Amino acid sequence: MNGPIYITGAGIVSAIGVGKESTLDSLVAGKSGIRRMKYLSSCHQDIPVGEVQLSNAEMASMLGIDDEPAFTRTALLGRLALREALDEAQLSGEALREVPFISATTVGGMDRRELFHDQEKDCDLAHAIIATHNCGTSTELIASQFGDFALLSTISTACSSATNAIIAGADMLRCGLAETVVVGGAESLSKFHLNGFNTLMILDRRPCRPFDADRAGLNLGEGAAYLVMETATSVSRRGVRPLCSLDGYGNACDAFHQTASSPNGEGAFLAMTEALQMAGLEPADIQYVNAHGTGTPNNDLSESVALQRVFGGEIPPVSSTKSFTGHTTSASGSVEAVICILAMNRQFLPPNLNWETPMEGGIIPVTGSHSPVELRHVMSNAFGFGGNDSSIILSRYEG
DSSP string, 20-78: HHHHHHHHHHT----B--SSS--S-TTS-BB--S--HHHHHHHHTS---TTS-HHHHHH
Q: Could you give the CA distance from residue 227 to residue 115 in angstroms, rounded to a whole number?
A: 32
pLDDT for 191 equals 87
* H helix intervals, 297-369: 297-311, 322-325, 332-346
Nearest to 181 by CA among 272, 277, 109, 82: 82
Number of compact structural domains in the chain: 2
Given pLDDT bands bounded at 50, 70 and 90, which one contains residue 385? low
SS3 229: strand
Looking at the structure, do residues 207 and 257 belong to the same domain, yes or no? no
Among the three residues 210, 238, 266, which one is the final residue of a domain in this structure? 238
What is the pLDDT, as a whole number, of residue 277?
Answer: 97
pLDDT band at 376 (very low <50, low <70, confident <90, very high): very high
Per-residue CA distances from 176 to 7, 179, 218 (Å): 17, 7, 40
Is residue 301 domain-shared with residue 161, that is, in the same domain? Answer: no
**CA gap 321, 344 in Å, rounded:** 15
Closest by CA to 251, choosing from 268, 238, 235, 264, is: 268
Q: Which of 133, 193, 327, 377 is catalytic?
A: 327
Neighbour tally for 100: CB within 10 Å: 20
Question: How many angstroms separate the CA atoms of 399 and 4, rounded?
Answer: 12
d(CA 183, CA 354): 31
Of residues 259 and 44, more confidence is placed in: 44
Query: Which range of residues forms the domain containing residue 267?
Result: 244-396
Domain boundary among 238, 272, 290: 238
Q: ∠279-283-286 over CA atoms, to 5°?
A: 75
Residues 150, 190 within the same domain:
yes
**With contact defined as beta carbons under 8 Å apart, do 91 and 141 qualify?**
no
Q: Which comes out higher in pLDDT, residue 372 or 87? A: 87
The answer on 299 and 164 residing in a single domain is: no
At 102 the pLDDT is 98
Same domain, yes or no: 309 and 284: yes
Helix, coil or strand: residue 155: strand
C-beta separation of 136 from 154 below 8 A: yes
The CATH number of the domain holding residue 367 is 3.40.47.10
pTM of the model: 0.94
Integer Cα distance of 170 and 192 in angstroms: 32
- Asked if residue 274 and residue 173 are part of one domain, the reply reads no
- Say if residue 126's pLDDT is above 70: no
Per the residue annotation, which of 159, 208, 244, 340 is the catalytic one?
Answer: 159
CB-based contact 384:267 (threshold 8 Å): no
> Which burial class, exposed, middle or buried, applies to 294 when counting CB atoms under 10 A from its CB (0-12, 13-18, 19+)?
buried
Task: For 76, list phi and psi in degrees, rounded to 5.
Answer: -65, -45
Active site residue 327: yes
Q: Are the C-beta atoms of residues 225 and 81 closer than 8 Å to each other? A: yes
Quote the CA–CA distance of 316 and 82 in Å, as a whole number. Answer: 32
* pLDDT value for 1: 63
Beta strand 100-104 with 151-155 is parallel
What H or E segment, with its residue span, contains residue 21? helix 20-29
Q: What does the pLDDT look like over 80-122, one tens digit per residue?
A: 999 999 999 999 999 999 999 999 998 876 666 656 655 555 5
* Host H or E run for residue 390: strand 388-396
User: Which pLDDT does position 164 carry in this prediction?
Assistant: 95
pLDDT for res 122 = 58
pLDDT at 26: 97
Distance CA 124, CA 147 (A): 29
**What are 195-239's pLDDT values in tens digits?**
888 788 889 999 999 999 999 999 999 999 999 999 999 999 999
| Amino acid 159: pLDDT | 85
Catalytic residue among 133, 193, 292, 377: 292
Q: Where are the beta strands (DSSP E) in 52-179?
A: 100-104, 151-155
Q: Which of 238, 265, 280 is where one domain is finished?
A: 238
CA distance 250 to 85: 24
27 & 156 share domain: yes
Percent residues over pLDDT 90 in the chain: 73
In whole angstroms, what is the distance from residue 385 CA to residue 221 CA? 17
Q: Fill in the DSSP letter of residue 50.
A: B
Same domain for 307 and 169: no
- Residues 248, 196 share a domain: no
Q: Answer yes or no: do 41 and 180 share one domain.
A: yes
Same domain, 232 and 252: no
Q: Encode pLDDT of 272-291 as tens digits.
A: 999 999 999 999 999 999 99
- Do 154 and 267 lie in one domain? The reply is no
Q: 292 an active-site residue? A: yes
pLDDT digits (tens, 9 = 90+) for 313-346: 899 999 999 999 999 999 999 999 999 999 999 9
Tell me what the mean pLDDT of segment 173-199 comes to. Answer: 92
Question: Is residue 253 scored above 90 in pLDDT?
Answer: no
Q: Where are the alpha helices (DSSP H) in 107-190?
A: 110-115, 124-130, 135-143, 161-174
Mean pLDDT of 138-164: 92
Interatomic CA distance for residues 302 and 348, integer angstroms = 26
- Write out pLDDT tens, residues 34-86: 999 999 887 788 899 999 999 999 999 999 998 776 688 999 999 999 999 99
